[in-house]
Amino acid sequence: MRIRPEAFRQEDKIREEVKAVEEEMKPDVIWIRWHFGQDWKEEWGIYFKVLLSDDAAEHRLREVSEKVEKRIEERLDFEDLEIFDHFNYRSESGQAKLREESWA
């Protein structure tokens, strides 16, 4: 059995830092959610789901996504947390059409 990374012991800090980035990035970012998971090699990762405003997703996706990732990486040292980071983005209207529960 694999040992859980340091990130599991720092969930409160992760929650606080992600919330701070979410607030900083409004109105482009509606919310940021995350969870721990393992990839196909059983390596631990933190998986971010970022719901963007339609304007940000349609006109500034690259700029906004790069800024979100940079801000989170400035606040969380993934190497020290012993975890890989993964980001997924979706627009508000895209989620309204798809109605995917894991993005609700």
In the chain, where are the structural domains located? 6-96
The band of 100, judged by pLDDT with boundaries at 50, 70 and 90, is confident
Can you give the pLDDT at residue 1? Answer: 44
Q: pTM, whole model, 2 decimals?
A: 0.90
- Please tell me what DSSP assigns to residue 83: -
pLDDT in tens, 10-32: 999 999 999 999 999 999 999 99
6-96: CATH, from 1.10.3720.10, 3.40.190.10, 3.30.300.30, 3.30.200.20: 3.30.300.30
What is the three-state SS of 14-51?
HHHHHHHHHHHHCCCEEEEEEEEEECCCCCEEEEEEEE
pLDDT in tens, 44-98: 999 999 999 999 999 999 999 999 999 999 999 999 999 999 999 999 888 878 7
Can you give the pLDDT at residue 102? Answer: 76
